[in-house]
Amino acid sequence: MPTQIHSRLSIFANEPFTDFAQPREEQAMRAAIANTRAGLGRSYASSFSTGEGAAERIVSVNPAGPDEVIGVHYGSPAEVDEAMRRAEDVFAEWSRTDTATRTGLLRRAAAKLREAKHTFSAWLVLEAGKNWVEADADTAEAIDFLEFYALQAERLAESAPAIQYPGEVDKLRHLLLGPGVVLPPWNFPLAILAGMTCAAIVAGNTVVLKPSPLAPTIGRLFVDLLRECGIPEGVVNLLQGGASVGAELVAHPRARFIAFTGSKRAGLEIHARAAHSLPQQHWIKRTILELGGKDAIVVDRDADLDLAAQGIVASAFGFSGQKCSACSRLIVHEDVYEHVLQAVVEKTATLAWGDPAENHAVTPVIDETAYRRILGYAADAPRQGRVIAGGNALTPPEQGYYVAPTIVADVDSASPLAQEEIFGPVLAAIKATSFGDALRIANGTPYGLTGAVYSSSEEHLERAAEEFHVGNLYLNRKCTGAMVGAHPFGGFNLSGTDSKAGGEDYLLHFTQAKSIARRLL
């Protein structure tokens, strides 16, 4: 059943996932992919053009067939100042727009995205390499973010201090920050992009949005949708580009905040750069960071082993492990270790690989850089453990960036396979001598994003709830698939600032609270 949050202001329910087993939905999705393919290869003009000759040319390709160009975009660090100035100029008017207008625009965008659900999912299939199920979930989550943040903005507008001091009227207002920067990732190029952008603007801020250069077209289409829904030009300022554009945005003295989702390395660089205050900057830039993970699933000796194996395979190899929440470590009690490994290998062997447009389970990784990095880990795996599945490329790179789901057994918990975020379909299996030993291993990385425990012991589940140090813990279910509203998302340690996207407190990151006390005369 969908999660529902009731309020006198509104009701929220998660967007249902599409059942592609229904012939009507299957036909609709195939038609959407065909229609989308007919529009591939376009050049998209920059909103802040300094002339295409002076700008970086960003060519987006299909990771399932790199000779198929999705779109061509242009961006340059020279455009950053103009984009930030426009965001600052429009902020003066947008900040005075009432909450009802802002939330109404977000709900209109959610409705329009719902109408175009298969179309956006088709773009996700072709540009990000997602199969139908993963693409549909991405689009559904984007709809959820729009609806949920509209509701939270309404609630925030009516917030008040918990106590009224005698002889006073006390109020608490959540003020806007100003123009900011949104830097979303390529792996959820619609949902996370939409969530970070719309949380900022529904709170009353304006943004400069730089999509990932690996999935720029989806970002462009979403901004076009916002404008079609009536969100004024300049509220969301699209600026395409790579790392150099991102660095200029982070360093810009007019940026009030930076919302970023991506790697630990890039996030820490952003955090450090944002802390540097320039003479004309009279505020501390706020950073909202959701970084990587080295996520673990723990299987106890008394767990439902078939249920655990299903969850492990889904968590490790869904979207080829390209999720910050993906399971990359499997920690199993020694009494059931071999049984679990066998079950996971058997289930993995049933996963068919191929073109995401045909809805295969195993899809390509995002680009050749990722392809070669992951294969580098796979090549070194025999020195760190026992390769019991995969370890190889499925195609040469010119035919698509396909890597076989890889399982490495008997890995030492301190080895690179157990410590470094690979961001691909590589699972390191580690044997634990006890449940306590399993928790020790699970907590033994610099990260703390997601984790899962399969156990029939209430005592052990309660212990995990207290001791497994992650921002999102799942008991007797997979460690991916956070639902907006039900599972506020964000991690501990070097997994970020525990931002809790899709939670009731997320909009607070984009506001500043002002306490107003008036003495009664």
Catalytic residues: 290, 324
Beta carbons within 8 Å of 35's beta carbon, 6+ residues apart: 119, 122
Q: Please give the Cα distance from 441 to 432 (Å, whole number).
A: 8
Write the DSSP string, 412-478.
-TTSHHHHS---SSEEEEEEESSHHHHHHHHT-SS--SEEEEE-S-HHHHHHHHHHS--SEEEESS-
Fill in the amino acid letter for 239.
Answer: L
Q: Please give the Cα distance from 392 to 413 (Å, whole number).
A: 23
Give me 7's structure tokens. 């309020």
Q: Please give the Cα distance from 196 to 501 (Å, whole number).
A: 8
Fill in the amino acid letter for 141.
Answer: E
Residue burial 61-77, b: 16+ Cβ < 10 Å; e: rest: bbbbbbeeebbbbbbbb
SS3 96: coil
Write the DSSP string, 101-112.
HHHHHHHHHHHH
Please give the backbone phi and psi of residue 387, each rounded to the nearest 5 degrees, phi first: -75, 115
Closest Cα to residue 261, out of 489, 503, 29, 73? 489
Query: How many Cβ atoms are within 10 Å of 295's Cβ, its own excluded?
Result: 29
Closest Cα to residue 426, out of 491, 493, 348, 355? 348
Nearest 10 degrees: Cα torsion 400, 322, 225, 217: -30
- Class of residue 387 by CB neighbours under 10 A (exposed 0-12, middle 13-18, buried 19+): middle
Which residue is it, tokens 């109404």? Answer: 104
Segment holding 119, helix H or strand E: helix 117-128
